[in-house]
Structure 1
Amino acid sequence: MVALIMDIGVQGLNIGDTAGPDETRRLAQLAESLGYHSWWASDHVVLPSPRVDPSPSEPDTVIVDPLVHLGFVAAATTRLQLATGIVILPQRNPLVLAKQVASLDYLSGGRFTLGVGAGYVEPEMTAVGVSFDDRGARTDEYLDAMDQLWHAPAPSFAGKFVSFSGVDAYPRPSNVRVVVGGHSPAALRRAATRAQGWFGIGTPSDIRGHLSRFPEQPSGFRISVSAPVPLTPAVVAEYADLGVDELVIYPPMFDGSVDEVLKRNAEFTG
């Protein structure tokens, strides 16, 4: 067994054949027993039908809502950290999402990380009534509004897309971290100024390039990366040298069954 270099997570198993209740419970408990640090769930409310680029999947692909899925995983596990990788934030009502996040954090015992992104599939965004051109501005504003509802003594917010005052919501989250996904300049800025971490995708070379464009990171900032290459001691060390805190694997990308991939990569969990 190699020495622990960083945390290892798993993602995307709320999609396709692994998304049913029995498989979800079994795989989440397997990942926890093997020492995985985190379990990340993906998000698409609807998909274009017929499929058009850049849609990631066929329209009949099963994608369980990430917050519902993670609530199920929370009940089936005790230590596994839970995260959205990512929620398409401008498609969600920020007050409703803030309540869902606080509730999931509360019921999981503080195990939840909210990963968000601005989205990239225009037909999906149009279908839920959100302007594709406004997605970045909405993402910024929604993050600020949720922060108010989670942390302000007397929450209030006045913005272009959301306004509220004279309301409050409990439970307040105890330990929710926000991470921002994406590689655009706006996403990197958003991560550095409105979040506690960044969720990237790419090879070590890709990540090196993204990090070279990153604004100054606040103290305690955490970098999580979805690794599209098989993990080896050398590859893991290369990511670690870049300052990556956590590697997240997507088992369907690799040879073998999900069980085999999880067991094979468990050597990197310490």
Structure 2
Amino acid sequence: MRFGLTHGNIGPYSNPEAAVELAVAAEASGFDSLWTIEHVVLPTEYEPLYPETADGRIPFAPDHPIADPLVWMAYVAARTSTIKLGTAVLVLPQRNALITAKEVATLDRLSGGRTLLGVGAGWLREEFDALRVGFEDRGPRMNDTIGAMRALWSGEPADFSSGSVDFRGVVSSPRPHGASVPIHIGGFTVPAAIRAGRLGDGFFPGGYDRDRLDVLLKRCRREAVEHGRDPDAIEITSRWTKNRDELTNLDVLHRLAELGVDRVSLSTLLFDQEHIADELARFQETVIAKF
């Protein structure tokens, strides 16, 4: 079992000193990855459909700092050497496919191949409206963008035509550090599980319901098999808990391992920012060292 930290780029960690302290402490404490979130803007009024809270509302105010994930990752990559840096998630249908492919490939090359690109379709219609991009067709556009980015990362003159993305004979350089950048599909929904099985290098379900997780993982694997892919090659990252008091309950980790989860993620919000290095070191001794 591997361990990741999410919400790396929000709140106090949007500041440079705190960002570096978090990343260095996470790497030293045995976390294999540090993940960011993305919201370009937060509307002051929105339909409460946030999938991870009971009331459907984002658990912080609209003016809560959320640093741009790719810029933040590039910054902390320069101060770390082994920890992987991921997005959980980049809202892909809001983005231009070619520009995003360039940014991600550059980040991956500069970080020595440590980028994990978690992508999601998004849920906040009001944010899409502010950006003047379509909401209803975001799923197909996301699929198009994934295919286009992989074509561009080949380093060869690329042709791609599918719905919302169309180009011929273009080269995007530099290439990623390796052959490509792993794409992890985020979302706690059946469409996300289907997309992960068909297209993903990984699947990052974003909820805490173990029974629903089991259903989604089975659907992901079935889709992979039906599309001629190896389901075991899809890396599974799952939430562990949103309750600090449960961080010593290792039974949940064993249950997640039984479901086939490769990595569990913990929010930075579970740890005291004022003592983050000590808190993560203690977690390494009490939990990570046992797995």
TM-score, normalization by structure 2: 0.85
Name the structure, 1 or 2, with higher relative contact order (CA <8 Å, separation 6+): 1
Aligned to 2:76: 73
Amino acid at match of 2:250: P
Q: What's the CA shift for 1:162?
A: 1.5
Structure 1 position 10 matched with structure 2 position 5: yes
Q: What's the CA shift for 1:40?
A: 0.3
Q: What's the CA shift for 1:204?
A: 3.1
Structure 2: how far apart are the matches of 1:255 and 1:109?
A: 28
Structure 2: how far apart are the matches of 1:43 and 1:226?
A: 17
Amino acid at match of 1:11: T
Aligned to 2:217: 211
Contact kept, 8 Å, 1:51 with 1:59, in 2: the verdict is no
State the identity %. 36
Amino acid at match of 1:269: I
- Structure 2 unaligned segments of length 5 or more: list them: 50-56
Structure 1 position 269 matched with structure 2 position 288: yes
Structure 1 position 21 matched with structure 2 position 19: no
Structure 2: how far apart are the matches of 1:119 and 1:139?
A: 10
Aligned to 1:195: 200
Paired residues for 1:219-258 under 5 Å: 219=230, 220-229=233-242, 230-231=246-247, 232-252=249-269, 254=270, 256-257=272-273
Contact kept, 8 Å, 1:37 with 1:269, in 2: the verdict is no
Q: 1:166 is paired with a residue of what secondary structure?
A: strand
Q: 2:203 is paired with a residue of what secondary structure?
A: strand
Amino acid at match of 1:29: V
Amino acid at match of 2:61: E
TM-score, normalization by structure 1: 0.91
**Aligned with 1:39 (options 28, 34, 42):** 34
Q: What's the CA shift for 1:51?
A: 5.4
Structure 1: how far apart are the matches of 2:209 and 2:68?
A: 28
Mean alpha-carbon deviation: is it higher for 218-227 or for 103-112? 218-227
- Structure 1 unaligned segments of length 5 or more: list them: 1-5
Post-superposition Cα deviations, 1:44-94, rounded to whole Å, max 9, x if no partner, equal 011112455235242111000100010011011001111111000000101
Tell me the matched-pair count: 264
Structure 2: how far apart are the matches of 1:93 and 1:246?
A: 30
Contact kept, 8 Å, 1:40 with 1:83, in 2: the verdict is yes
Mean alpha-carbon deviation: is it higher for 205-214 or for 34-43? 205-214
Post-superposition Cα deviations, 1:191-231, rounded to whole Å, max 9, x if no partner, equal 11111110012243342232233343433210001222433
